[in-house]
A = this chain, B = another copy of it.
Amino acid sequence: MTRRLTQRGQERRRQILDFAIARFAENGYHPTSVAEIVQGLGVGKGVFYWYFESKEELFLEILKEAQLDLRRAQRAAIEDVTDPVERIALGMRATMAWSASHPELHRLVQFAGTQEHFAAAMRKGQETAVRDAGRHVRDGIATGQIRDLDPEMLAHAILGMTAQLAREFLHERHVSHEVVADTAVSLLLDGLLVPSPTRA
């Protein structure tokens, strides 16, 4: 659904998106009804269906926007750096910072991952993220900086660790994203173990 929108129309659309993001994040996608959204905005139901084809399309739109915005932040963070290991670290830090400032979108992306229904849309975003991280891992292996393990598994491990730490320490405990990122990067690069003479 692409409509020509006036100034007023664009504002309405934005209003619906923002309100829906808040409600979906708070109560979940299924329990939030279209009726609740339009009522919350104090408008008739027709308004919703003027801007969106369905509740589902609205949600996909929100997802797409979120994934795009996060990726933009990651690219901006690493653009001045070429070292693959530093790129991984900076990307992780950028993800933590973005997640901290978009708690609702973080929730929705998490949720979408569990719904067969949104699997296709999610995979697209997830695959892009894996491809981005995987590229740096491969580069690092090529330069001899990174150990020769399966790059895709490493990329997924990075994303999984980041997501879980964000969920718990940013959104539950409200720890600063720099502190969380410091520990995450340190663990990721050097591992749990104290280097021992027999190992190194």
Contacts and interface: CB of A to CB of B under 8 A. Distances in A.
**Number of copies of this chain that the complex holds:** 2
Nearest to A26: B116
A62 interface: no
A27 B192 contact: no
Nearest to A159: B164
Interface residues of A, number: 52
B184 A193 contact: no
Interface string A188-200: 1111111100011
A150 interface: yes
B165 A163 contact: no
Contact of A195 (B156, B186, B195): B195
A156 B165 CA distance: 6
Interface of A: 26-28, 30-31, 85, 88, 107, 110-111, 113-117, 137, 140, 144-147, 149-150, 153-154, 156-157, 159-165, 167-169, 180, 183-184, 186-195, 199-200
Given A85-B193, A153-B183, A156-B169, 11 more contacts: A28-B114, A107-B114, A111-B115, A147-B186, A147-B193, A156-B164, A156-B168, A160-B163, A160-B167, A189-B192, A195-B200
